[in-house]
């Protein structure tokens, strides 16, 4: 294979100093060159590397033919001197500052001042720079001819005034793939192959490790049995152990199969497979180095899952991680934010640093919009801007060969900062919608197996149909996978309570499990219940007979809730993406139907018609002001554009002439008056059915489509 190395060509043994040279030779060359030219250098690396890099550079300068500059190490440790008693009573910070001052003002030429604890010396407080940091900054600028070699941990940020001291900032994070073969000894390589070694199969698990940590892990397996084709499991066992040893705290190694554990959503699965998993599989099996680099270039490293709450966005992220054998770090957007200066950015740096150490890794930012909303659309402390910039910096800092992916979840993809959606960042956007009929059926089957509950085909179909509409009719929120999960958990609890063996689930059990925690609303007076029955019957009759309304699924006056005493559930419209004027007018007519039914059968109107009237007015206003659905006013809009230039239902009317405003209001009123008359005429025409439905609701509380069809003797009114 093109990326197989003969084991005999690998080093026989490696010391830590050898490993440092093998892993970072070109970087050390650059650092040595810049320091020799009198340019101060800042190295960003883990603390474990600091002393090894210092020693490597010191050896290089000593080996220079003309004798290179000396390296003066500022450690803050107590030194043998006449002031031993004073040093013992000093803090580490005080000794660091004192030694730094002595080095800067010593006047010694041809000397490099090495600062291994620069990030500690210049730490910041929550309100700004500490007194020690200000003193250190002053010292660093005191002698213009002083030459510095600084070290900082990637988890911490240096103040800009300190960073500016260094003309070159060089990150040494992890190891590059091309250096990996030079960091593995022959005896270690034989654990993975008989005569040749493929470093690429190992690289994805160790890309975030520094050279010293990598050597420590590989030495751990030196005494294991060598690989033989007869027992290939030994290699897989070692890879699994290496995977466990590279995990850091606060990460999870999930076990979610994309096909088996995630029900439905076939299109989403196909997109994930096509855009990510197939490309990664091709990379893993390719023998062509150039093709591998090409694939790494095009694989999306940033993904957005967007859709309503509870639809499984995080579950899909975990399924991707399982397919990649990747760790998952789930970060709550709101929890990252801090009111203290710099702390939110530090939280982000720490998350990315941990993910790189545990690669392959996924970072999931839940509620990404909480800090990455489009600029100018939020009213926060201002920290959101710097958090977005920090995230972009971290994402842009990935090497192409690193297996680190960033997934953001949001309910409002349109609100995200456009900088995040540019190619190379969150370039893949996947919509996780509320589950459709086939999806809900598949989700239920997954939970049936999980909870060992057997639903008959009839009961499962009933549950699928019952969860096809809105769980919250007022806010237009549909049933999600989370609701189905809660329903199945409720059924399992009921089975355990009855203690009669497997539950023979009925439709009533489904109804009970779907109600909120099984609680019942307040007991209504008969007169109140009758008013609700009349009101909902008015909505239902019109929704059934009007030609452009979606099919009814359920009418109920037994919601168990105080804020929604009854509702009519309609199916999802067949044309989900195109809505016509006729459909909007029928919607308004249905909204006004409850009010008109109360007028006809009760002779008065209750306050229950308030929200219907409000929504009817809003739709009529939208038709005239935003959609130009007025033959008198023509193709004109009158709304104030929302943020970003797009219109929205909740937008306000822009300033227009008083006469124009009067004409707009008249057109809105015409629609409302016309649909009120139409509602009145339809209900008068079908008053026998209205009264029968009222009685059935009073006695049965809930009716499905079949019950309504029976009232109308199966007569159909819908147009194909």
Per the CB < 8 A criterion, the answer to whether 626 and 620 are in contact is no
Give residue 509's Cα distance to chain centre.
Answer: 35
Distance CA 483, CA 439 (A): 13
What are 321's two structure tokens?
């991680």
The arithmetic mean of pLDDT across residues 313-320, rounded, is 90
The runs of H, that is alpha helices, within 65-219 are 84-88, 92-105, 118-121, 131-140, 160-163, 186-189, 199-206, 211-219
The residue from 401, 536, 625, 675 that is catalytic is 536
Distance CA 121, CA 113 (A): 14
For 392-417, what is each residue's pLDDT tens digit?
Answer: 778 877 777 788 888 988 888 777 77
The arithmetic mean of pLDDT across residues 359-367, rounded, is 86
Distance CA 528, CA 103 (A): 87
Q: What is the DSSP string of 480-522?
A: -HHHHHHHHHHHHHHHHHHTSSS----HHHHHHHHSGGG---P
Q: How far apart are the first and last CA of the chain?
A: 61
Handedness of CA 607, 611, 612, 616 (dihedral sign): positive
Q: Are strands 124-125 and 168-171 parallel, antiparallel or unpaired?
A: unpaired
339 or 330: whose pLDDT is higher? 330
Residue 466 has pLDDT above 70, yes or no: yes
Distance CA 478, CA 433 (A): 10
Residue 35 pLDDT: 93
Residue 327 pLDDT: 84
Residue 375 has pLDDT above 60, yes or no: no
The arithmetic mean of pLDDT across residues 646-662, rounded, is 68
Residue 619 pLDDT: 92
Quote the mean pLDDT of the chain.
82
Q: Please count the other Cβ atoms lying within 10 Å of the Cβ belonging to residue 716.
A: 10
For 50-90, what is each residue's pLDDT tens digit?
Answer: 999 999 999 999 888 877 788 999 887 776 554 555 555 67
Give residue 572's Cα distance to chain centre.
Answer: 27
Distance CA 415, CA 10 (A): 53
516 or 371: whose pLDDT is higher? 371
Residue 647 pLDDT: 43
The arithmetic mean of pLDDT across residues 413-435, rounded, is 81
Distance CA 537, CA 697 (A): 8
Going by C-alpha positions, the residue among 549, 576, 555 that lies closest to residue 567 is 555
Distance CA 404, CA 395 (A): 9
pLDDT-derived band at 648, boundaries 50, 70, 90: very low
Residue 682 pLDDT: 95
| Percent of the chain whose pLDDT exceeds 90 | 25
The arithmetic mean of pLDDT across residues 13-28, rounded, is 93
Most confident of 255-259, 290-294, 672-676: 672-676
Residue 536 known to be catalytic: yes
Instruction: Encode 212-251 in three state secondary structure.
Output: HHHHHHHHCCCCCCCCCCCCCHHHHHHHHHHHHHCCCCCC
| Strand partners for 567 | 556
Residue 2 pLDDT: 47
Per the CB < 8 A criterion, the answer to whether 217 and 246 are in contact is yes
The arithmetic mean of pLDDT across residues 335-347, rounded, is 64
């Amino acid at each position: 294979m093109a990326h197989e190395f003969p084991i005999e060509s690998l080093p026989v043994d490696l010391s830590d100093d050898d490993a440092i040279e093998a892993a970072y030779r070109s970087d050390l060359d650059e650092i040595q060159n810049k320091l020799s030219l009198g340019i101060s250098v800042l190295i960003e690396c883990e603390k474990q590397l600091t002393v090894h890099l210092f020693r490597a550079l010191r050896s290089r300068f000593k080996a220079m033919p003309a004798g290179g500059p000396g390296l003066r190490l500022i450690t803050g440790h107590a030194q043998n001197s006449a002031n031993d008693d004073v040093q013992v009573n000093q803090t580490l910070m005080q000794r660091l500052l004192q030694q730094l001052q002595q080095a800067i003002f010593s006047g010694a030429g041809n000397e490099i001042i090495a600062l291994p604890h620069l990030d500690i010396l210049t730490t910041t407080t929550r309100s700004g720079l500490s007194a020690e940091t200000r003193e250190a900054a002053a010292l660093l600028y005191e002698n213009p001819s002083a030459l510095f070699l600084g070290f900082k941990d990637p988890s911490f940020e240096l103040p800009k005034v300190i960073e500016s001291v260094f003309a070159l900032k060089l990150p040494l994070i992890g190891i590059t793939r091309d250096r990996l073969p030079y960091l593995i000894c022959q005896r270690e390589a034989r654990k993975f192959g008989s005569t040749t070694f493929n470093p690429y199969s190992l690289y994805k698990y160790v890309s975030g490790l520094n050279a010293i940590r990598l050597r420590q892990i590989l030495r751990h397996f030196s005494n294991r049995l060598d690989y033989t084709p007869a027992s290939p499991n030994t290699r897989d066992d070692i890879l699994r152990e290496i995977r466990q040893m590279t995990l850091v705290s606060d990460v999870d190694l999930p076990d979610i199969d994309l096909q088996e554990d995630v029900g439905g959503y076939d299109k989403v699965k196909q997109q994930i497979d096509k855009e990510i998993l197939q490309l990664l599989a091709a990379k893993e099996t390719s023998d062509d180095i150039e093709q591998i680099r090409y694939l790494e270039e095009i694989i999306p490293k940033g993904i957005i899952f967007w859709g309503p709450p509870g639809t499984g966005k995080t579950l899909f992220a975990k399924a991707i991680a399982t397919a990649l054998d990747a760790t998952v770090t789930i970060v709550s957007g709101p929890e990252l934010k801090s009111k203290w200066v710099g702390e939110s950015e530090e939280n982000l740096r720490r998350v990315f640093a941990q993910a790189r150490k545990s690669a392959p890794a996924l970072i999931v930012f839940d509620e990404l919009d909480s800090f990455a909303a489009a600029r100018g659309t939020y009213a926060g402390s201002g920290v959101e801007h710097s958090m977005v910039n920090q995230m972009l910096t971290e994402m842009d800092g990935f090497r192409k060969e690193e297996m680190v992916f960033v997934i953001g979840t949001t309910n409002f993809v349109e609100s995200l900062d456009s900088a995040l959606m540019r190619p190379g960042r969150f370039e893949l956007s996947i919509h996780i919608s509320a589950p459709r009929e086939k999806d809900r059926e598949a989700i239920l089957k997954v939970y049936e197996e999980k909870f060992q509950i057997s639903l008959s085909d009839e009961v499962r179909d009933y549950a699928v149909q019952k969860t096809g509409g809105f769980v919250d009719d007022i806010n237009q929120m549909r049933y999600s996978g989370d609701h189905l999960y809660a329903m199945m958990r409720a059924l399992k609890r009921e089975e355990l309570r009855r203690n009669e063996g497997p539950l023979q689930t009925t439709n009533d059990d489904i109804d009970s499990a779907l109600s909120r925690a099984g609680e019942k609303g307040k007991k209504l007076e008969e007169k109140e219940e009758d008013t609700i029955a009349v009101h909902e019957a008015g909505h239902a009759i019109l929704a059934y007979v009007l030609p452009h309304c979606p099919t009814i699924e359920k009418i109920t006056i037994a919601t168990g809730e105080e804020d929604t005493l009854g509702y009519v559930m309609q199916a999802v419209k067949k044309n989900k993406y195109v809505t016509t004027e006729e459909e909007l007018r029928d919607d308004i007519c249905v909204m006004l139907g409850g009010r008109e039914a109360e007028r006809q059968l009760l002779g008065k109107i209750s306050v229950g018609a308030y929200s219907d009237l409000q929504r009817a007015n809003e739709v009529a206003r939208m038709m005239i002001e935003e959609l130009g659905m007025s033959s008198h006013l023509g193709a004109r809009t009158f709304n104030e554009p929302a943020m970003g230039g797009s219109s929205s239902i909740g937008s306000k009317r822009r300033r227009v002439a008083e006469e124009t405003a009067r004409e707009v209001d008249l057109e809105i009123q015409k629609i409302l008056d016309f649909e009120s008359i139409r509602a009145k005429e339809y209900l008068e025409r079908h008053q026998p059915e209205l009264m029968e439905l009222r009685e059935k609701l009073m006695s049965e509380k809930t009716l499905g489509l079949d019950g309504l069809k029976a009232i109308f003797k199966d007569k159909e009114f819908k147009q194909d």
